[in-house]
Amino acid sequence: MSEILSRWNVLNRAEAAEEILPCCGSTAWADGMINKRPFDDEASVLINSDEIWRNLDSSDWLEAFKSHPRIGESRSDVSTRGLSADWSAQEQRDVAVAQNDVKLALAEANRAFEEKFGYIFIVCATGKSAGEILAILLRRLQNGKDAELREAAEEQRQITQLRLRKWLGI
């Protein structure tokens, strides 16, 4: 077991929530993770994270989405923890260096997405170029509301898994 997990297992609820919340952005998810403590190993953290995420309400998913900046922007509309903002910047690093026409197309598609669905476009951007993200965004604009919410939730699950791995150092 990592030193981080050993320490986190015994933190009080408030400190534990503050530390894990940047991995997801949903307070219900963070509460669920805290309630499952102590974890024996990192694999248990990842497995339980998925289980908790899949059993949350859509309002909890939407709360997590709000913790992210729009693709191509550096901060979210809500105040996020420093670690979450740092991870977002790393995850979107390829968008930051994209050509201006791609950045403009992403901004326009982001606006259209928010108008249609009422929340920001969520994608696990790690390892994807700005062009790939734009293509995904344009495809997902064709989704119905229910299908898109499920797809966004899956993308958030993937982001959470990556962030948990970073947090745990695995």
Q: What is the DSSP string of 88-140?
A: HHHHTHHHHTS-HHHHHHHHHHHHHHHHHHSS------TT--HHHHHHHHHHH
- Scanning the structure block, which residue is given the tokens 């509301």? 145
Q: Would you call 68 a catalytic residue per the annotation?
A: yes
Token readout for 2 is 């990592």
Is 123 exposed, middle or buried, given 0-12, 13-18 or 19+ CB atoms closer than 10 A? buried
CA distances from 34 to 18, 21, 23, 130, 157 (A): 11, 10, 13, 35, 17
Please check whether residue 70 is in contact with residue 110, taking contact to mean a CB–CB distance below 8 angstroms: yes
Active-site option among 68, 70, 128, 157 = 68
Which residues are tagged catalytic? 68
